[in-house]
Chains A and B, each alone.
Chain A
Amino acid sequence: MSDAAASDPEGSAWMAIKKRWRSWLRAVHRDAGYLAVGLTVIYAVSGLAINHIADWDPNFVSYTRERTIAPIAAEVPDDVAIAEATKALGVGPPRSTYRAGDEIHLEFDDRKLVVYGDSGTVIEQGRSSRFFLRVANWLHYNRGKKAWTYVADIYALLLLYLAISGIFMIKGKKGFKWRGASMVALGAAVPLIYVVWSGGPSASNRAALEAARTEARPSAPAPAADEPIERMPVRIPPPVTPPAPAPP
């Protein structure tokens, strides 16, 4: 150890930090990245699935089938009607049954059958779960609340660390000063450009307000095709007299 370092231990620690902080940052970034893999897969896959919820059901595969049996008259007692329906459909004993109006409901664990007694129409509805996606979506929506709120918070902090530490991991031409800065700017510009282009969250409300104003504005009814258009006389406004200058 040099005399200078021995006489200034604080300075030596500072030198060590200065020399090695980037490698420590990379080491923590690497391990944080490993930790984040599982949750990132869950949130990303579920995000893709939920983002297109208007186009598909990300949780279940559902089906509806229709068939016909002989009509069951309203006067037939409930237990007889249910027995008749079950026999005609060739299904086992239902978990639960219910009869109201012309409807006979037969509930099973994974499906339900509704018999419309007056027509004999039978509607069968059921669904099966997309196991991984359903669990991932449940986690993504934080439907379970409780401890998952804290897990999600920690994961968000982890992502922040990964994003910010990523900026400083490499030095030189491919580091933040050169390539990194332009890539970070490009990435940050995407949401900014979108907000400016779309008008942001208030834009749709402003458009709606304008539409409502336009609708509320009274407009003259259009003349029928065979009616002559009455020409209004053009009125020329009187010349505007400039106001007298204020007295001094």
Chain B
Amino acid sequence: MRDTRTPDLDRYPELHSRWNRRTFIQGAAAGTALLALGGALYRLAGDDLTRAARAEARKDGRPRLPPGQRVIRQLRNMGGDEGPGDVKSFRLRVHGAVTTPFELDYAALLKLPQAEQSSDVHCVTGWSRLDALFKGVRVSTLAEKAGVKGDVRHVIFESHHGYTANVPFPEATAPNVMVSYRMDGKPFAIEHGAPVRAIVPDLYFWKSAKWLTGVRFVVRDEPGYWEVRGYHNHADPWAEERYG
């Protein structure tokens, strides 16, 4: 028996193109809706970590997870112009408004007082990685060794290919801010800033410059790579300071 929902296309051949078009649009719309629904379900189903983190609070009273963030298990590669990534050619310049500028190679960095800390990091694109164990040297240790002058107000993290990120001096010398070479007991992969990157956990992660080449102490603020491209100059995740 003929399907009564379909017109008799043999009898009315002029309806062919219209009917085919309608069927195509219906199919495309249904397919898109299914994909969207599937994607939403997939995201919601696998987000226990985010729900748990939202229920927690930090010692300073702020929620553990800043607004608009979701928890992921591994750092994502957000791109950038990579440095050479090897330890042999690594050099870190500590300079600017300091009494004793100096340069470190990788072995010299490992000989400085070391710190190890568990931190949460938050990317401006919306993901957060919790409880990452970072090992490295605190920026405050570098500042002390270099003899920072009294009028310094900002710290500029410098990387290969001219990338910079600016952080106010008090926040850059907080106890949880470091130049780090190890995460969760492993060296950083090249895409995550090997061999040494900055870690500034309480600001959006673009401030934690990868492929670090320098730490410069300055009197006047110098907005960095993303800051001059429309991103917020300060980048506090709890105030959602994403864009300037």
B186, A64: Cβ atoms closer than 8 Å:
yes
Q: A62-B189, A127-B191 are in contact. Are A205 and B125 (CB under 8 A)?
A: no
Interface hits, B32-88 → A, CB 8 Å: 67, 76-79, 81, 86-88
CB < 8 Å neighbour of B187 from A114, A127, A137, A141? A114
Q: Which residues of A contact B111 (CB under 8 A)?
A: 101
Q: Which residues of B contact A66 (CB under 8 A)?
A: 186
Residue B106 CB within 8 A of the other chain: yes
A96, B78: Cβ atoms closer than 8 Å:
no
* Shortest beta-carbon distance from B78 to chain A in Å: 6
- Give bound CA distance, A141 to B229, whole Å: 14
Instruction: From B2-10, B23-31, B138-146, B235-243, give the one contacting chain A.
Output: B235-243
B186, A62: Cβ atoms closer than 8 Å:
no
Residue A118 CB within 8 A of the other chain: no
Q: Which residues of B contact A208 (CB under 8 A)?
A: 236, 239-241
Contact with A along B219-244 (1 / 0, CB 8 A): 00000000000001000101111111
Residue A105 CB within 8 A of the other chain: yes
B186, A53: Cβ atoms closer than 8 Å:
no
Q: Which residues of B contact A143 (CB under 8 A)?
A: 81
B76, A211: Cβ atoms closer than 8 Å:
no
Q: A121-B185, A127-B189 are in contact. Are A57 and B77 (CB under 8 A)?
A: yes
A62, B240: Cβ atoms closer than 8 Å:
no
- Residues of A in contact (CB 8 Å), total 33
B106, A98: Cβ atoms closer than 8 Å:
yes
Interface hits, A128-182 → B, CB 8 Å: 137, 141, 143
Q: Which residue of A lies closest to B107 (CB)?
A: A100
* Shortest beta-carbon distance from A244 to chain B in Å: 48
Residue A60 CB within 8 A of the other chain: yes
CB < 8 Å neighbour of A98 from B76, B87, B126, B185? B87
B88, A57: Cβ atoms closer than 8 Å:
no
Q: Which residue of B lies closest to A50 (CB)?
A: B79
CB < 8 Å neighbour of B125 from A53, A62, A112? A53
- Give bound CA distance, A123 to B185, whole Å: 9
* Shortest beta-carbon distance from A128 to chain B in Å: 12
A64, B189: Cβ atoms closer than 8 Å:
yes
- Give bound CA distance, A64 to B107, whole Å: 24
Residue B134 CB within 8 A of the other chain: no
- Give bound CA distance, A96 to B195, whole Å: 14
Q: A54-B126, A100-B87, A114-B187 are in contact. Are A204 and B77 (CB under 8 A)?
A: no
Interface hits, A74-126 → B, CB 8 Å: 96, 98, 100-101, 103, 105, 107, 112, 114, 121, 123, 125
- Give bound CA distance, A60 to B244, whole Å: 31
- Give bound CA distance, A64 to B192, whole Å: 13
Interface hits, B80-125 → A, CB 8 Å: 81, 86-88, 106-107, 110-111, 123, 125
CB < 8 Å neighbour of B242 from A96, A103, A204? A204
Interface centre among A62, A98, A201 (most CB of B within 10 A): A98
A100, B106: Cβ atoms closer than 8 Å:
yes
Residue A55 CB within 8 A of the other chain: yes
A123, B87: Cβ atoms closer than 8 Å:
no
A107, B86: Cβ atoms closer than 8 Å:
yes
* Shortest beta-carbon distance from B169 to chain A in Å: 21
Q: Which residues of A contact B242 (CB under 8 A)?
A: 204
B127, A54: Cβ atoms closer than 8 Å:
yes
CB < 8 Å neighbour of A204 from B185, B238, B243? B243
B189, A100: Cβ atoms closer than 8 Å:
no
- Give bound CA distance, A197 to B106, whole Å: 50
Interface hits, B124-171 → A, CB 8 Å: 125-127
- Give bound CA distance, A202 to B244, whole Å: 8
Q: A96-B88, A127-B189, A204-B242 are in contact. Are A53 and B79 (CB under 8 A)?
A: yes
A57, B76: Cβ atoms closer than 8 Å:
yes
A201, B107: Cβ atoms closer than 8 Å:
no
Q: Which residues of B contact A112 (CB under 8 A)?
A: 86, 187
* Shortest beta-carbon distance from B90 to chain A in Å: 9
Give 8 A-B pairs besides A107-B88, A125-B187, A205-B243 with Cβ atoms closer than 8 angstroms.
Answer: A53-B125, A54-B125, A64-B186, A66-B186, A96-B88, A98-B86, A100-B107, A201-B243
Q: Give 3 nearest A-B pairs by CB, closest first.
A: A100-B107, A101-B110, A208-B239
